[in-house]
Each structure stands twice: as C-alpha cells, then as structure tokens.
Amino acid sequence: MVYPSTAQEAVEMRDAYPSSCYLSGGTHLIPQWRASQRPPDLVINLKRIQHWVRPEEVDGLWIDPATTVADLRVCQPVGSQLAALHMALTEFGSPLIEPLATITGNLAAARPEGTLAVSMIALGATIFYDSVTGSGVVAADDLFEKPGQTTLPHGALITGVQIPHPVSSAHSGHLAIRAGLATSTPVVAASAVIEFSADGRVLGGRLSVAHATPTPREVRTAREIMQLGLPVSEVVDVLGDAAVAAIEPDDDWWASARYRQRMTRVVTERLIRSVAAKADTSGGLT
C-alpha cells in the first residue's frame, strides 16, 4: 500500500501499475478483495492527501474526496437546500459505515446498489476528475457505463463533485422502495427537482430513476414535460409514464421486472406529489 500526497501523484501511480486501485473509504473495495482470488497489485490509499484543489469556476456545493456520508449529512446547505440529496443520504445504510464511506468513492464504485447517484443526477451534479492525460469533467448522468464501470478514462481519479445552487422556486425530493430490511438494496428509487410558478404550475426540473435500470439515469423526456407549464395535477401521470418508459427492469432476488415496472410508476407519482406538497407548505405556491 502506498500513500500519495497529491492527486497528481496518485494518478501517476495508478498509471504505472495498471492492476492497482484507489482506496478511499474502502466500503466497497474491501469486501471485493475478500471475495477475489487475486487482489490488486498495488493499493493507492488517498487518506494522506491533505489538499484537494477546488476549481475557481465552481459555484455551489463542492464535495471533495475526503468528504464522507456522515460529513455531508450534517452539512447545513444540504439539509436546507438539497432535500433530494439529504434524503438519499439518510437511506445510505448502516451508521457504522457512514463515517468511512466517501461520496466520490461511492460514485467511482458505480455499484448497482448505490443510493446517492440518482439524487445527484436530478440535482445536475458535475463530476471533476484527474488522469495522466489531463483533467476533465462529466455530468453525473453521463458517469456510468454499466454496473461497476464508469465512463472516465482508465486510471482517472474523481477529485470533486459540484452541485449547483438551486433556483429559489425549485424544490426537490427522493423516494425509494425496498423489499426487505431498511438497509437492503432498493427495488426502485427516484429523485426529482421541480421548479414551480406561484400559481402551482410546473416550470422545469429533472427526474432521475435507479434500480430498475442497469445504471442510474435521468428521465430525459421528463425535462421536456416539466417545461410545458402544466399544473401539478396534470403532470403527475405523464411523468409516471415517462419514468416507466425510461427503465429496463430485470428479474432478480429482490423483485420481478414486472413489479419494478409497477413500483417505478408508484414511486415517481408519489415523489412528484410529495415535492409539490412541500413547495406548497413552504410558501412556494399560492
């Protein structure tokens, strides 16, 4: 195990040893190592990197690789302005791993059971990374190639996540349904950010879904629907249809494809109504 002191040093080590891996929180990697017959040739532990560079152009919430789930749960802007993310964080899992699990590590693992990416997609997050060929950015919705694999260049290191400030008329939420224990993998999850007019019409927003798809994804048609200026009562069913059309459910241990399809509609419609009700009670609608 090696301990680089900078992000650049870390990516150079990763490039020099193709079978190496980064270690951040370790909540995904360590169980994988125990199950694997061939551990990585080199483990690059990021814990001693003291300074993570925040790009000057970043505006909004900045999450660096040292930020854990426990850190973000008590972050005031998250609780007051980014309800979708805060709600996803509260469903993360056991309190025992929250102080260890890092946000960027969770995204980089690209695990199907991951609970945070769907909220970040809805919130319009941007992922920053470094690699031996240079730095880059990618939208959260474009981060995932397939389960366990991202679209980042080989050996790239996520150096931060930016979540833009929401507009004052926008409200967000997150909802998941599980088939077993509260800490089990969700059967379906959805996150939404919705911008409302004073008279209760939907002016814009994003909707994202997970666990009924191979990877978390934005429901692209939902953005167009939300820009039509329709009342909430007329949007709910249409967004439910859009969410169902965007998924690719499979049968697995937890649920059948048919059940996931039905629950995607249920979760989406409940979520939209919940976000609208929250906007109404907070004075966002008149």
How confident is the model at residue 38, as a pLDDT? 66
Nearest to 185 by CA among 149, 208, 211, 218: 211
- Domains located in the chain, CATH noted: 49-163 (3.30.465.10), 170-281 (3.30.390.50)
Q: Is a pLDDT exceeding 70 seen at residue 50?
A: yes
- Average pLDDT of the segment spanning 50-61: 87
How confident is the model at residue 80, as a pLDDT? 85
In whole numbers, what is the pLDDT of the chain averaged over residues? Answer: 91
Least confident of 3-12, 201-210, 250-259, 261-270: 250-259
d(CA 243, CA 209): 7
SS (H, E, C) the chain: CECCCCHHHHHHHHHHCCCCEEECCCCCHHHHHHHCCCCCCCEEECCCCCCCCCCCCCCCEEECCCCEHHHHHCCHHHHHHCHHHHHHHHCCCCCCCCCCCEHHHHHHHCCCCCCCHHHHHHCCCEEEEEECCEEEEEEHHHCEEECCEECCCCCCEEEEEEECCCCCCEEEEEEEEECCCCCCCEEEEEEEEEEECCCCEEEEEEEEEECCCCCCEECHHHHHHHCCCCEHHHHHHHHHHHHHHHCCCCCCCCCCHHHHHHHHHHHHHHHHHHHHHHHHHCCCCC
Q: What would the pLDDT profile of 209-250 be if each residue is shown by its tens digit?
A: 999 999 999 999 999 999 999 999 999 999 999 999 999 999
Q: Is a pLDDT exceeding 70 seen at residue 182?
A: no
Q: What would the pLDDT profile of 97-146 be if each residue is shown by its tens digit?
A: 888 899 999 999 998 778 899 999 999 999 999 999 999 999 999 999 99
d(CA 83, CA 274): 12
